[in-house]
């Protein structure tokens, strides 16, 4: 009975248009933030950080970026892996060229470089859309992987062709390298995820977000009513690229530490982030979190249940994971196109009315 709006009066326009209009939602949001910042760092260990928490935080940033482009602006993209590679290699070059600069600045600069690259590859969206735009971004994926493989300057002429993150600290605490503590890498990634989610939420609720959605729903009608398609599409690519670049920089420097572009940022990475957006829910910031959490936890749960409990071979469990993800994508696209976010929204609406039927 505590999930109610009775007595929760709005006395200003700001209160009426706030992100969480129900008081319980606001308290739950603050409670989650308090647990994430004040409790988890004291109980985290290396397994929880490397197997669950760090992948979730980093993939959530990438999913938010892709959701802005696909879910809010309606521009299809299959080049997420390549754009994450831009962020990773840009971060690596900044770390080696400017070792005295803060790691926060390196990650932000990597996001800015990725935004510029995304805008360049987003220029075809002014002329083409749908399947043709998907092919154009897919070409960007293969081109960027080829570029980072073939130009030795990007990996500082290393004989192995890999890039390795040097040790860097923030306020005297290591956050990159093999000796970085789990809680420090977790907090560093959590700060970026929180900031990205807040920025994305406010952008999608403002004038820019409304122009993205107008272009998504019907670009011709949007242009007639005064929406500039050039500005709307390119800003969507820029903001999406900025978030994806940040996720790529964190994926390389904080999570993996050393990457080879073909293995870490191949086409499978692009599809993985796209599946997170589809399962979580297109056009929803919460859906990006839900999709990332689901696809990060699914392999862990299947391993525990299939391998440890049931004793199945590891390869069978890995193939079973692909079957589950494929089946869920088909089900969500047919039954509930808005994904897990819509299911959560419906559940909240029922809680607001419970125990009454309508």
* pLDDT (0 to 100) of residue 107: 95
240 domain-assigned: yes
DSSP letter for 90, please. H
208 belongs to a structural domain: yes
160 lies in a domain?
A: yes
Asked, for residue 97, whether it belongs to a domain, the answer is yes
For residue 31, the SS3 value is helix
3-state SS string over 249-285? HHHHHHHHCEECHHHHCCHHHHHHHHHHHHHHCCCCH
How confident is the prediction along the chain (358 residues), in pLDDT tens digits per residue?
456 666 677 777 777 777 777 777 788 889 999 999 999 999 998 888 888 999 999 999 999 999 999 999 999 899 999 999 999 999 999 999 998 899 999 999 999 999 999 999 988 888 888 888 889 999 999 999 999 999 999 998 888 888 999 999 888 889 998 889 999 999 999 999 999 999 999 999 889 999 999 999 888 898 899 889 989 999 999 999 999 999 999 999 999 988 998 888 999 999 999 999 999 999 999 999 999 999 999 888 888 888 887 878 888 888 888 888 888 888 888 888 888 998 888 888 887 777 676 6
Give whole-number Cα distances, 304 to 45, 106, 142, 294, 317, in Å: 18, 37, 35, 15, 10
Burial of 349 (0-12, 13-18, 19+ CB in 10 A): exposed
Paired sense of beta strands 173-174 and 258-259, if any: unpaired
In whole angstroms, give the CA distance from residue 156 to residue 262: 17
Q: How many CA atoms lie within 13 A of 14 on its CB side?
A: 0
Entry pTM: 0.93
3-class DSSP state of 170 = strand
The domain of 162 spans 44-266
The pLDDT value given to residue 357:
64
3-state SS, residue 173: strand
DSSP 76: -
Q: How far apart are CA 41 and CA 27, in angstroms?
A: 21
In a domain, 261, yes or no: yes
Q: Tokens representing 206?
A: 């403002």
Residue 244 belongs to some domain of the structure: yes
- CA-CA distances (angstroms) from residue 152 to 89, 110, 114, 148, 157? 12, 19, 19, 8, 5
pLDDT of residue 194: 95
> Running DSSP on this structure, what letter comes out for residue 308?
I
State the pLDDT at residue 115: 96
In three-state secondary structure terms, 263 is helix
Query: For the chain, how big is the Rg over CA atoms in Å?
Result: 21
Domain count, the chain: 1
Q: How far apart are CA 243 and CA 119, in angstroms?
A: 13
């Amino acid at each position: 009975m505590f999930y109610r709006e009775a007595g929760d009066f709005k006395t200003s326009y700001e209160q009426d248009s706030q992100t969480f209009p129900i008081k319980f939602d606001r308290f739950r949001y603050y409670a989650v933030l308090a647990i994430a910042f004040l409790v988890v760092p004291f109980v985290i260990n290396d397994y929880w950080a490397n197997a669950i928490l760090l992948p979730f935080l980093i993939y959530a940033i990438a999913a938010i970026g892709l959701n802005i482009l696909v879910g809010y602006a309606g521009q299809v993209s299959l080049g997420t892996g390549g754009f994450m590679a831009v962020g990773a290699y840009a971060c690596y070059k900044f770390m080696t060229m400017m070792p005295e600069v803060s790691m926060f600045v390196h990650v932000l600069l990597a996001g800015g470089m990725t935004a510029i690259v995304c805008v360049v590859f987003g220029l075809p969206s002014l002329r083409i859309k749908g399947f043709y735009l998907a092919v154009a971004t897919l070409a960007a994926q293969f081109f960027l992987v080829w570029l980072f493989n073939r130009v030795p300057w990007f990996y500082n002429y290393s004989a192995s062709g890999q890039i390795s993150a040097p040790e860097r600290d923030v306020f005297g605490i290591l956050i990159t390298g093999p000796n970085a503590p789990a809680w420090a890498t977790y907090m560093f990634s959590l700060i970026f995820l929180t900031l990205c989610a807040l920025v994305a939420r406010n952008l999608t609720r403002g004038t820019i977000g409304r122009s993205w959605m107008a272009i998504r729903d019907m670009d011709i009608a949007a242009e007639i009513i005064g929406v500039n398609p050039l500005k709307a599409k390119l800003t969507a690519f820029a903001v999406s690229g900025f978030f994806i670049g940040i996720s790529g920089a964190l994926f390389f420097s904080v999570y993996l530490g050393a990457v080879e572009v073909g293995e870490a940022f191949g086409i499978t990475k692009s599809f993985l982030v796209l599946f997170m957006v589809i399962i979580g829910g297109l056009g929803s910031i919460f859906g990006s979190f839900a999709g990332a959490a689901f696809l990060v936890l699914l392999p862990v749960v299947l391993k525990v249940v299939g391998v440890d409990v049931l004793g199945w071979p590891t390869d069978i469990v890995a193939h079973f994971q692909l079957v589950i993800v494929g089946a869920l994508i088909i089900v969500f696209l047919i039954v509930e196109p808005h994904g897990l976010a819509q299911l959560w929204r419906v559940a909240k609406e029922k809680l607001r009315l419970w125990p009454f039927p309508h």
